[in-house]
Amino acid sequence: MQYSAKAINAQKDRSDCLIVTLSNGGKLSPAAEALEKNGANLAALCKREGFHGKEGETLLLHSPTGTQAQRLLLLGIGAEKPGAAGFVRALGKALDALKNTPCKSLAFMLGEVDVEARDTRWQALQLAQALEASQYQFTRCKSKPTKNVFKPTKAVFGCAGQKQLADADAGLKEGSAIGRGANLTRELADLPANICTPSYLATEARRLGRKQPKLTVKVLEEKQMKELGMGALLSVSAGSDQPAKLIVMEYRGAAKSQAPFALVGKGITFDTGGISLKPGPGMDEMKYDMGGAASVFGCVQTLLELQPKINVVAVVAASENMPNGRATKPGDVVTSMSGQTIEVLNTDAEGRLVLCDALTYVERYKPQSVVDIATLTGACIVALGSQASGLFSNQDELAEALLSAGETSGDRAWRLPLWDEYQKQLDSNFADMANIGGKEAGSVTAACFLSRYADKYPWAHLDVAGTAWRTGAAKGATGRPVPLLMHYLLQQGS
């Protein structure tokens, strides 16, 4: 899609659809007022149709008067100065209203909207990101895919003046790149597990690195992992015919001497629970247990598109968790790369086993910070639902930076405690620690487990079990937390 920022004359616009805003009580925006003066008769139309300008209200007019555009979409934004979340929700409703139209060119008169505590760049970013998300459709496994009717090729952010142009252009560039990265995350996560195996992810990494001088890709095979002592990770893949892969993607946008930021993704491409077998209903959704890894891929693609001046090392620990005759059994003791031993009390707590070796592996890069991303615990869904990702960190500064990135992007997280008092739940009579901590505070004890492998650098853990995908009739990957992670990384680059 082609994005641009322009100062638009609403009366002379020739797009397939012109989008103008109204606030509570049907109050017209400046663009809507200009159309009204040009004979659009919007006030009367709104009264007749019961349109009051409430947040997310839409009214689509065909062959409207007052403008040369083919269609006019009236969009309610609620308050004259809407909040950030309300503005994003209204954008979503506007795109919903257009999804059954064949519009190719769109003009959004959004520069005249004053969003509380947000600027033009942010508004343009959110528009581009929403438009990219609206184009995602999983069709790969359908013999006769239903084509998306709404396929715009051109979108214009209408600025209120020339001063907004540079900020709007920058926001459109950033938002479209983040949106496309999130769509790659969706695609990888939505793929069935018989296609998206650890080997498939390795191939995808090599594809990303093709003809990209700033990206180096390395894939460690099981033999190399064994030589490194990654007994925890390999204990998970022991029951699968699919070999595990440790995928390392190094993006270099700054001097080699500059320490990188690290992303570590849990890549369990299918999780049966292993010998601690999960119940059958809903097990199909365990293809999403590589959602953390998928978000790492989305971030790498976005980095390659935006080329920020930072270094990033992205590590994906990829494996299946299957129950064959060689599978790890409850009560087995394994030795991690760090030398610490783990009593595996539950083979369905496997994500932390692949992550702990990956966290030890990234020590060699002496990173400025490490963020691991994992669909780790059902307990996090119980605690936070599907609204916020769970955040744990051993450094307040890093935690605050991630929380701020979540608020700015709208991809929010909530910090949970990582107190020493929880560590004792991981005590084991037969090893240095157990891999589960009992029924209480399951997401906290999982993070406590990981913290034992992340004491050499500033570290944060994002539990995205509730946010990486939707269940039910709208089942599908969300692309989260790519927006949060990219806002954090780009802030470091600035």
- The catalytic site residues sit at 278, 352
Cα distance from N-terminal residue to C-terminal residue, the chain? 26
| Residue 205 to residue 486: CA distance in whole angstroms | 18
Q: Are 430 and 343 in contact (CB under 8 A)?
A: yes
Asked if residue 481 has a cis previous peptide bond (ω within 30° of 0), the answer is: yes
| Residue 187 to residue 466: CA distance in whole angstroms | 18
Q: Tell me which DSSP letter residue 193 carries.
A: T
The total number of residues written for the chain in this structure: 494
Q: Are 316 and 246 in contact (CB under 8 A)?
A: yes
| Residue 434 to residue 266: CA distance in whole angstroms | 19
**Of 489, 492, 483, the residue nearest 412 (C-alpha):** 483
Number of H helices, E strands in the chain: 14, 20
Q: Are 420 and 390 in contact (CB under 8 A)?
A: no
Give the phi and the psi of residue 45 in degrees, each rounded to 5: -60, -45
Sign of CA dihedral 179, 183, 184, 189: positive
Q: Are 42 and 74 in contact (CB under 8 A)?
A: yes
Q: Are 347 and 271 in contact (CB under 8 A)?
A: no
**Of 284, 256, 255, 262, the residue nearest 272 (C-alpha):** 284
Q: Are 350 and 274 in contact (CB under 8 A)?
A: yes
**Of 166, 122, 130, 131, the residue nearest 405 (C-alpha):** 122
| Residue 401 to residue 20: CA distance in whole angstroms | 35
Sign of CA dihedral 169, 173, 179, 182: negative
Chain centre to alpha carbon of residue 177: 12
**Of 51, 57, 66, 68, the residue nearest 17 (C-alpha):** 68
Q: In terms of C-beta density within 10 A (0-12 exposed, 13-18 middle, 19 or more buried), how is residue 266 classed?
A: buried
Q: Are 412 and 390 in contact (CB under 8 A)?
A: no
